[in-house]
């Protein structure tokens, strides 16, 4: 995995990230998670994107260059991790929605409160970050330089396993087919339509 692999529109990168490994090395140990579900957000062209109305201190990392981690707080409750894609200056990113813990399961479970079953450890973007130990301090982290948080190749995913559908829980552009996930994988989060969602022009 290198910067050139990520220097494309988010909706092209999002399915390619399925099966890749996001890992976090800490003094307590290393947790690695194989990504099983993603969502693409396309910047100024996407009403659901944080960058839709332009650059702010909060979303600055989204504007590139690719290969960095964009972390934000969702509803004041949990952290969400995004892989920045596209070209420098254009705000696009892929939200990591779910994954399968393949290394450091005991540590991931401890971070999740000790009770979560294996398929649920990193199911949903907030749980994913909690299991991996990702917080605001990791916003802007470069994922490709061998630091404590890294994005690397994993087991190849057969194209036949990849499914596409509408995004989860967003009220704007919710019906865009920008969610990508592995078919019949127990770690993938359940689809949920926002109660505020209204029909929109697709992309």
How far apart are the C-alpha atoms of 153 and 127, rounded to whole Å? Answer: 22
Alpha helix segments (H runs only) across 17-150: 105-111, 125-132
How far apart are the C-alpha atoms of 181 and 105, rounded to whole Å? Answer: 21
Task: Report yes or no: 73 and 64 within 8 Å, Cβ to Cβ.
Answer: no
Length of the chain: 203
The answer to whether the predicted template modeling score (pTM) of the entire model surpasses 0.85 is: yes
Give the closest residue to 34 by CA, choosing from 139, 90, 118, 135. 118
DSSP 3-state percent helix, strand, coil across the chain (nearest 5): 20, 30, 50
Expressed in angstroms, the distance from the first to the final Cα of the chain is 27
Domain architecture of the chain: domains with CATH: 3-182 (3.10.300.10)
How far apart are the C-alpha atoms of 130 and 135, rounded to whole Å? Answer: 8
pLDDT values of the chain reduced to their tens digit, one per residue, 203 residues: 899 999 999 999 999 999 999 999 999 999 999 999 999 998 888 888 888 887 888 889 999 899 999 999 987 789 999 999 999 888 999 999 999 999 999 999 999 999 889 999 999 999 999 999 999 999 999 999 989 999 999 999 999 999 999 999 887 888 899 999 999 999 999 887 777 776 655 44
Q: For residue 73, give Cα distances in angstroms to 46, 130, 181, 202.
A: 19, 12, 23, 27
∠ CA 154-158-163, nearest 5°, is: 105
């Amino acid at each position: 995995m290198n910067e050139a692999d990520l220097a494309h529109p988010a909706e092209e990168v999002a399915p390619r990230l399925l099966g890749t490994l996001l890992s976090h090395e800490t003094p307590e140990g290393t947790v690695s998670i194989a990504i099983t579900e993603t969502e693409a957000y396309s910047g100024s062209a996407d009403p659901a994107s944080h960058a839709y109305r332009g650059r702010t201190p909060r979303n600055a990392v989204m504007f590139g260059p690719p290969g960095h981690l964009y972390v934000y707080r969702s509803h004041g409750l949990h952290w969400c991790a995004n892989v920045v894609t596209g070209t420098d200056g254009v705000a696009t990113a892929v939200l990591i929605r779910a994954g399968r813990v393949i290394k450091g399961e005991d540590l991931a479970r401890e971070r999740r409160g000790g009770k979560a079953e294996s398929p649920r450890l990193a199911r949903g973007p907030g749980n994913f970050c909690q299991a991996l130990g990702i917080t605001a301090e990791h916003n802007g982290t470069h994922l490709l330089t061998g630091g404590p948080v890294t994005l690397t190749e994993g087991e190849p995913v057969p194209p036949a396993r990849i499914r596409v559908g509408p995004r989860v829980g967003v009220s704007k552009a919710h019906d865009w087919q920008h969610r990508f996930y592995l078919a019949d994988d127990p770690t993938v989060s359940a689809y949920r339509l926002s109660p505020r969602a209204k029909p929109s022009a697709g992309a």
